[in-house]
Amino acid sequence: MDSVIVLDFGGQYAHLITRRIRDFGVYSEILPFDADLDEIRKIMPKAIVLSGGPSSIYDNDSPTLNDEFFKFTSENKIPILGICYGHHLIMHKFEGKVELKEKKEYGRANLIIIEESLLFDSLNREEIVWMSHGDQVTSIPKGFKILAKTDTCPIASYENKDKFLYGVQFHPEVVNTTKGNKILENFVFKIAHCDREWKVEGLIENIIEKIKNKVGLKDKVILGLSGGVDSSVTAVLIHRAIGDRLHCVFVNNGLLRKNEEIEVQKTFKETLKFKNFHYIDAEGLFLKKLKDIEDPEEKRKIIGHTFIEIFENKTIELEKANPDIKYLAQGTIYPDRVETSATSNASAKIKSHHNVTLPNDMKLDIIEPLKNLYKDEVRRIGLTLGIPQEIILRHPFPGPGLGVRIVGTINKEKLNILREADAILIDEIRKAGVYNKLWQAFCVFLPLKTVGVMGDYRTYEYICAIRAVESLDVMTANFAKLNWDLLEKIGTRIINEVKGINRVVYDITNKPPGTIEYE
Ligand code: XMP
């Protein structure tokens, strides 16, 4: 099957490039820029993209590629598309001129195409593109041809057909480059001649087969199941492969949504007929440990550590009865994995996300059947596997649950108030037919009391904030412009039906500068 490798030079966009290529029906994966040539040779990609990155090729330890790499691609006629930093790097290697620019160019630019080429096939002579760069190419070596320019960038794109090299200064992978998809499609199909053969659904049998081969006929697997999309799909794939040799552990941390623990158990035990589903009610322990804790990061840490403690104890208990438990399954998906071994460590820590990393001393081998897939691909697999839509199409729910949706200290009273309000919000949003259009919608408990009036009585109760956002990639999100009548209905119901709340506010913060969750 044809594939395209994206070499990651530390930009934020490598994921977007692979995503787009996969959406064309061609398998694509990210490798670090310094991946072993043997690894690339084994894959024998039909094309390679060099991503952008924060470095300048003039930095002391700037990431680079060796001559052997270019010898390999040229001998095997593998086209390379350099984007931004990749575009500079090719020039640097082939003795073009790249000039160091102190001043960055950032934003929309008007690309003027000056030469016909397959890369810009069926584009207009002028197109809007997205630029984000400091350095720029100022002269090209012999054999290269300038394809396009902008007002400030005389060599915005080049090609060398004999050496199978292409470069663009702008970012075709972002939506702000209007015809970016067309450019990538041209590269993948017209230049690299890939076939559209890849479909995520086609991977299911392959994944199941791999699990069977790995686990064998008698060993067992343990999985921490949250009932979210990733762990649910992981569970069903493993269950298909090894049946009830899969042990799922579901921990009720007391921070779940209304009736969640009942619904998850029902789905797995009754609908999907999992025999070894272990439910642990740990609400008491979590709430005890969280008592009086206000700081968001501390809350997250306590929730993560407490989960690990419980999960480890349960594993030890299960291992006693089932000495064949040899594997620990995890619902890790592609972005989680690449993020943890990112080639760039330039990004600042905003929140300690990504749930729990189980300790290494558990001595179990890890199985991660979704490790090469993106969220929407996991969803497609889940639907094909027949997992109920309520699970697969559910909005993302953070590992620390309602713990990060109650500002300040947590207790059962606040949790119950929040659960009731949230259930009303979701009910109304579903009834209005907008649930599937939103990335997330949820209520947040604000520990502030304000005055209200109900009937003839003064009230003095808490505030509930409604957060509803639209997003494609979670890195950015816009607050949803929900219909006023719908918001009014939700607000009225929450105030009338939820004891403890007398004011509802709507959050109009985008991300950035806000984050989606409150803590
Ligand atoms: P923020 O609040 O950073 O959230 O804009 C981005 C997305 O991540 C989810 N989120 C989490 N998911 N564990 C998770 O699995 C976490 O600790 C966590 N914190 C936030 C959040 O719901 C949103 O979809």
- Residue 324 DSSP symbol: T
CATH superfamily of 200-392: HUPs (3.40.50.620)
Query: Residue 162 and residue 431: Cα distance in Å, rounded?
Result: 59
In the set 84, 248, 443, 464, the catalytic residue is: 84
Instruction: Determine the atom of ligand 1 nearest the C-alpha atom of 354.
Output: 13
Query: Residue 426 and residue 408: Cα distance in Å, rounded?
Result: 23
Query: Residue 122 and residue 181: Cα distance in Å, rounded?
Result: 12
pLDDT in tens, 84-140: 999 999 999 999 999 987 777 888 999 999 999 999 999 999 999 999 888 999 999
H helical segments located in 29-84:
37-43, 67-75
Report DSSP letters for 340-355, one per residue: HT-S---SPP-S--S-
In the set 15, 87, 88, 171, the catalytic residue is: 171
Q: What is the pLDDT of residue 472?
A: 77
Q: What is the pLDDT of residue 38?
A: 97
Q: What is the mean pLDDT of residues 426-431?
A: 98
Q: What is the pLDDT of residue 354?
A: 47
Task: Give the residue, by CA position, lying nearest to ligand 1 atom 20.
Answer: 398
Q: How far is the CA of 300 from the centre of ligand 1 (A)?
A: 11
Q: How far is the CA of 517 from the centre of ligand 1 (A)?
A: 6
Q: What is the pLDDT of residue 335?
A: 79
- Residue 202 DSSP symbol: G
355 band by pLDDT with thresholds 50, 70 and 90 = low
pLDDT-above-90 percentage for the chain: 85
In the set 127, 159, 173, 319, the catalytic residue is: 173
pLDDT in tens, 397-427: 999 999 999 999 999 999 999 999 999 999 9
CATH superfamily of 3-191: Class I glutamine amidotransferase (GATase) domain (3.40.50.880)
By the 8 A CB rule, do 22 and 66 touch? no
Query: Residue 339 and residue 376: Cα distance in Å, rounded?
Result: 18
Query: Residue 18 and residue 23: Cα distance in Å, rounded?
Result: 8
- Residue 359 DSSP symbol: P
Q: What is the pLDDT of residue 102?
A: 73
H helical segments located in 44-138:
67-75, 85-93
Instruction: Determine the atom of ligand 1 nearest the C-alpha atom of 440.
Output: 24
Q: What is the pLDDT of residue 316?
A: 93
Q: What is the pLDDT of residue 13?
A: 81
Domain ranges of the chain: 3-191, 200-392, 413-506
> Which secondary structure element, helix H or strand E, spans residue 467, and what is its range?
strand 457-470
* CB within 8 Å of 176: residues ≥ 6 apart: 108, 128, 129, 130
Look at residue 351 and tell me whether its pLDDT is greater than 60: no
By the 8 A CB rule, do 221 and 327 touch? yes
The residues lining ligand 1, judged by C-beta closer than 6 Å to any ligand atom, are: 351, 353-355, 396, 398-400, 440, 474, 511, 515-517
Domain 413-506 sits in CATH 3.30.300.10: yes
Q: Which residues of 239-268 are buried (b: 16+ CB within 10 A; e: fewer)?
A: bbbbeebbbbbbbbbbbbbbebbebbbebb
Single-letter residue type at 454: M
Look at residue 50 and tell me whether its pLDDT is greater than 80: yes
Phi, psi of 352 (to 5 degrees): -80, 85
Mutate which of 336, 516, 518, 519 for ligand 1? The one with the most ligand atoms within 8 Å of its CB, which is 516
Q: What is the mean pLDDT of residues 167-172?
A: 97
In the residue annotation, 173 being an active-site residue is answered as yes
pLDDT in tens, 4-40: 999 999 866 898 899 999 999 999 999 999 999 999 9
Q: What is the pLDDT of residue 421?
A: 98
Task: Give the residue, by CA position, lying nearest to ligand 1 atom 8.
Answer: 398
Q: Is 3-191's fold the same as 200-392's?
A: yes
Query: Residue 145 and residue 162: Cα distance in Å, rounded?
Result: 11
Q: What is the pLDDT of residue 64?
A: 96
353 band by pLDDT with thresholds 50, 70 and 90 = low
> Across the chain, what does the average pLDDT equal?
93
Q: What is the pLDDT of residue 458?
A: 96
pLDDT in tens, 291-336: 999 999 999 999 999 999 999 999 999 999 999 999 999 999 987 7
Task: Give the residue, by CA position, lying nearest to ligand 1 atom 14.
Answer: 398
Which token pair is 516?
């989606």
pLDDT in tens, 229-271: 999 999 999 999 999 999 999 999 999 999 999 999 999 999 9
Which token pair is 154?
């005389």
Bigger pLDDT: 338 or 183?
A: 183
Q: What is the pLDDT of residue 111?
A: 97
Instruction: Tell me whether the omega of the peptide bond preceding residue 447 falls within 30 degrees of 0, making it cis.
Output: no
pLDDT in tens, 210-224: 999 999 999 999 999
Mutate which of 517, 518, 519 for ligand 1? The one with the most ligand atoms within 8 Å of its CB, which is 517
